[in-house]
Amino acid sequence: MTRPLAEAASGVPIRRRRDDGGAEAVAAEHYPPGVALALFSWVMIGIFVAFVGGILLLGVYSPRSGADVLDWRPTRSPEAEGQNELDDVAQMLEASNALRRRRGAAERTEDEVADAIRADRRELERRARDYGERDA
């Protein structure tokens, strides 16, 4: 049950209503329902933007790096990574040569493969250049 009681100094009507417990509660109607929801939404968006901005500022101005904070160290040294790459290339070349031997083709060395790659790159660059000249 709702009935008007009085008006606040701002001219906003104050209404008394009975809650489930029998006591009367006083409620002021400050905002229309759509405005209140929009205001709440903008306040929540502002809080979220401030939170994300604060986290980003902490990251930018922090004297420690992320690796220091997490106490992260690489699992392998750069030398070990380089050696692993060389081993991978040797294994792939050996596997390729095994297939070539089964077919009866000549084996290839790493230099021959590198020369073939350079020739393919030159061909791709020439095609890209020709394609660009054709459009101009």
Half-sphere exposure (CA, 13 Å, Cβ side) for 15?
9
Confidence at residue 52, expressed as pLDDT on a 0 to 100 scale: 98
Nearest to 94 by CA among 84, 108, 83, 104: 108
Provide the 3-class DSSP secondary structure of residue 106.
coil
**pLDDT, block means (10 residues), the chain with 136 residues:** 49 58 56 81 97 93 84 85 93 95 93 94 94 76
pTM, rounded to two decimals: 0.41
Strand partners for 69: none
8 A C-beta contact, residue 29 and residue 16: no
Confidence at residue 104, expressed as pLDDT on a 0 to 100 scale: 94
Q: Token pair of 134, please?
A: 């054709």
Confidence at residue 68, expressed as pLDDT on a 0 to 100 scale: 84
